[in-house]
A and B are shown apart, each in its own frame.
Chain A
Amino acid sequence: MNQVIWVVLLPFVGSVVCLLAHRKAVFALGMAASLGTLIVSVGLVAHVWEHASARVELGGWATPLGIALHLDGLSALFLLLTAVVGVLVGIQAGSYFAQSPELRAMGSRFWPLWLLLWGGLNGVYLCSDVFNAYVLLEISTLAAVGLTILSGSTASLVAGLRYLLAAMFGSFMYLLGVALIYAGTGQLDFLLLSRGVTPQVHTLTAFGLMVFGLLIKSALLPFHFWLPPAHSSAPAPVSAVLSALVVKASFFLLLKIWFVVFESISGGTPGGMPSQLLGILGSLAVFWGSFQAVRQSRLKLLIAYSTVGQLGYLFLIFPILASPDFQGHEALAWGGTIFHLFSHGLAKASLFLAAGCLLQAMGTDDLHAMRDIAGRLPVITFSLGVAGVSLMGLPPSAGFVAKWMLLRAVLASGQWWWAPVIVLGGLLTAAYVFKILAHTFVPSEGEALRLNSVPLVMTLVPLALAILCVLMGFRADEVIALLPAVPHFGTGKNGWEMP
């Protein structure tokens, strides 16, 4: 199973080569690395599908001493999402950064940083060591901040600094947790820790600190302040990557910390306070993020606030799985969450890329300027609409399947009070999606806005992402069938045994 390491190696090789290569060759080399990573990721999904999970001990050193990579269903799905979004964003970036000398210079910085970020993200999905996870989080954070400030505008610098400070604080809190857990148990590996932790004051504190740090990085409600400015002021391909992938990596790590490392603590307190608290914060995030999104008058800021709201749904999995009278529906809860993650990743990337096209065509992303856009830029408007439908959760999109599964899981767990959150959140989402679409159909009064031309590829990529998102909804059965490969954490047969 040594090929697991290639999903980390290929982006890094691409990054080094892109940094040293001539400006004209950067796009081709970057795309080559991206496609290679996609192929390896698909191969890994197939491997998990056929053989279940895999574990590689790096350097040949057994785990308490060395570092292991761990591939399971959850990691494979994250790898796949990252690769699909990554390749499509790469195609978009190719034409986005080819338009002017300034943008070309930006592009030659985009590729090395983006591939470094991609390698870091893939490393997070595979990692099985709490300290290694810290280093990987740092590499992704610094690369993500570098990408945020790519355009060099003052707004993006301020947003980038805010992002950097918040993320550094989050990492340090996580590292403090790592220090405590190592001082207490003398272990760093996920699997060994999961056997070693017992509910004592220092392990509980370490658990709290690690979760706290990761919550800041995954922008749950009171800690979301850094996200909207950073995601809205970056260039469009970067915004797509940040919203669709980077915050999800911290969430992925949170899942592993919660359900694998501290399984005996988080699973030992059924329906306990911490998981309910995360559920409440998640619900508040759904309402607050969507409400703020409705209020915005700039398209990119609206989409960024929508990310805050949509991330909230992910946190419902914690109270659902903690319920005592919850039996045999883990797959439903996991399926709903993973499906939401996928559909949001694809739809959000599509929205940001479409917004980038609009910004380029109109020269502004003010919603009020978007008069009569529907007739003049039909493809972009169509992508916005389709991606929006998926965000809202209307059938037959993937968003619908996700919310339907979450709703069923909530009812099965006997915690009916989360159901209104899902329904009302969908309504608020509809409100801001219709706000965008309504502006595009307003006929222009007087002289129409002169539109700049947008390369064809740039309009097709958002469309492809939106269509993928819908297709996933049509193919719900197959995707759900793949989900048993996702570990049922905590049931013993979870893929977290040593192979």
Chain B
Amino acid sequence: MNLILLFDVFLIAALLLVSWRLLGASDLFQATVLFISFGLFLSLAWIRLGAPDIALAEAAVGAGLAGVLLFGTFKGLEPGADRENDSFTSEPCRLDPISPCPGKIHLLLAFTCVGSLTTLLVLAVLDLPATGDGLTPMVSQFLERSGVEHPVTAVLLNFRFYDTWLELGVLVAAVLGILCVRNRFDLRELKVLQAPDVMLRRLVMGLAPTMALVVVYLLWLGDHAPGGAFQAGVVLAAMLVLLWFSGHASITGLSRMLWLFCLIAGFAVMLLVAVVSALWPEMRPLEFPEEWSAMIILGVEVVATLSIGVALSSLAILSLGAVDDPGGS
């Protein structure tokens, strides 16, 4: 028992230390690197707290995609900031280039505000009831009627289907937003990277099929164990990004229509379910008949995986390549 407390203390100390240094360190590259380890420690925390679903997603997002996004942006911002960069002096990237650095008063004010906010939050958290089962009894009561055996999947794709559907809409909105940054609507104009050296090519030749297998595996796990469309989608995204990095066309090879189709498919399929159920006379909106729910959930999951994979990888590739060309469309 004491050992587990020790583990908790270590884990929390690591989380706080990493996030403190990540925000405080003068070196931007260090912050980027620390951000990746922040994701790692968070996944350990999810495992410790009995949430392997989240750990899977965090492993893929925190260690995989967030790293790609941050490294990519870092390189874009500081192309020359290689090597001995502890004393890095290049132009800082700010919203208001003219505004002065925060003075002592600003820092003091921020510290007071945040200090009082944190104190209030600590009091609030200490005031929370130490036990509470939330909606667990209801979920376990209706789990049989949901069409899947894994409670988290049941909540995501049946009880709170509406949220999940809207969340795919958020993804679509983000990708469309990035397209506005680029002033383009087509991925094929993005340069395909030059073929890498032999080592990376061999590595990717081994890794990519494994990842594809893992995608299918996670998807299959979803109905009875931790796993499912989100986690599978994120791994798919990681695979597509890796392929792009190793000089393959990946999603940048898709035609505009096909790419848009994959991007919107998850949202559109859930929309289709919503429209059909709204038109069906005896059913509530977003309701599906019990005997079909397993089928519907599986179908939605497969399409959602594809959409999440394509959307997240487009997000990564586009934001690495969010280099617009003013005036030249």
Contacts and interface: CB of A to CB of B under 8 A. Distances in A.
Interface of A: 2-6, 9, 12-13, 16, 19-20, 56-61, 64-67, 69, 102, 105, 108-109, 112-113, 116, 119-120, 123, 131-132, 135-136, 138-139, 142-143, 145-147, 149-150, 152, 157-158, 161-162, 176, 180, 182-184, 186, 200-202, 204-206, 208
A234 B260 CA distance: 25
Interface string B258-294: 0011001001100100110010000111111000000
Given A13-B275, A64-B135, A138 B170 contact: yes
Contact of A146 (B160, B177, B260, B288): B177
Nearest to A146: B177
Nearest to A67: B162
Given A59-B287, A152-B324, A5 B124 contact: no
B319 to A, nearest CB: 13
Contacts of B183: 105, 152
24 contacts: A5-B286, A12-B169, A16-B271, A19-B264, A56-B285, A59-B286, A60-B287, A64-B135, A66-B159, A105-B329, A112-B176, A113-B173, A116-B169, A116-B176, A146-B174, A146-B176, A147-B180, A149-B177, A152-B326, A176-B121, A180-B128, A183-B128, A183-B132, A205-B121
Nearest to B283: A60
B142 interface: yes
Contacts of A4: 285
Contacts of B95: 158, 161-162
Nearest to B326: A152
B5 interface: no
A197 B129 CA distance: 13
Contacts of A61: 142, 158-159
A4 B287 CA distance: 15
Contacts of A56: 284-285
B132 A186 contact: yes
B162 A58 contact: yes
Contact of B172 (A116, A162, A186): A116
Contacts of A139: 166, 169-170, 173
A66 B160 contact: yes
B49 interface: no
B260 A150 contact: no
B128 to A, nearest CB: 5
A53 B57 CA distance: 40
B123 A205 contact: yes
Nearest to A58: B286
A105 to B, nearest CB: 6
B285 A186 contact: no
Contacts of A2: 278, 284-285
B285 A5 contact: yes
Interface residues of B, number: 55
B185 A105 contact: yes
B176 A113 contact: yes
Nearest to A20: B260
Nearest to A147: B180
A346 B170 CA distance: 28
B61 interface: no
Contacts of A57: 284
Contacts of A200: 127
Contact of A132 (B158, B163, B177, B268): B163
A201 B275 CA distance: 43
B66 interface: no
Nearest to B288: A59
Contact of B134 (A16, A113, A132, A182): A182
Contacts of A180: 124-125, 128
A65 B141 CA distance: 10
Contact of B177 (A20, A123, A145): A145
B185 A202 contact: no
Nearest to A4: B285
B219 to A, nearest CB: 22
B82 interface: no
A182 B125 CA distance: 12
Task: Give the most central of A12, A119, A138: most B CB within 10 Å.
Answer: A12
B220 interface: no
**Top 5 closest pairs, chain A to chain B, by CB:** A146-B177, A205-B124, A142-B173, A201-B127, A5-B285
Interface string B137-180: 01100100000000000000011111100110110111011011
B181 interface: yes
B124 A67 contact: no
A120 B169 CA distance: 9
A186 B162 contact: no
B278 A5 contact: yes
A13 B267 CA distance: 10
B275 A9 contact: yes
Contacts of B179: 109
Contact of B123 (A136, A152, A201): A201
Given A19-B264, A132-B163, A152-B180, A108 B135 contact: no
A486 to B, nearest CB: 25
Nearest to A108: B185
B133 A186 contact: yes
B163 A67 contact: yes
Task: Give the most central of A150, A186, A208: most B CB within 10 Å.
Answer: A186
B151 to A, nearest CB: 11
A16 B124 contact: no
A142 B177 contact: yes
B173 A116 contact: yes
Task: Give the most central of B124, B134, B267, B286: most A CB within 10 Å.
Answer: B124
Given A9-B275, A135-B166, 17 more contacts: A12-B267, A58-B162, A59-B158, A59-B284, A64-B135, A65-B139, A109-B180, A132-B166, A139-B169, A142-B174, A143-B173, A149-B177, A201-B123, A202-B127, A205-B123, A205-B124, A208-B120
B271 to A, nearest CB: 5
Contacts of A109: 176, 179-180, 185
Interface in B51-81: none
Nearest to B271: A12
A60 B173 contact: no
Given A67-B160, A205-B123, A5 B169 contact: no
B101 interface: no
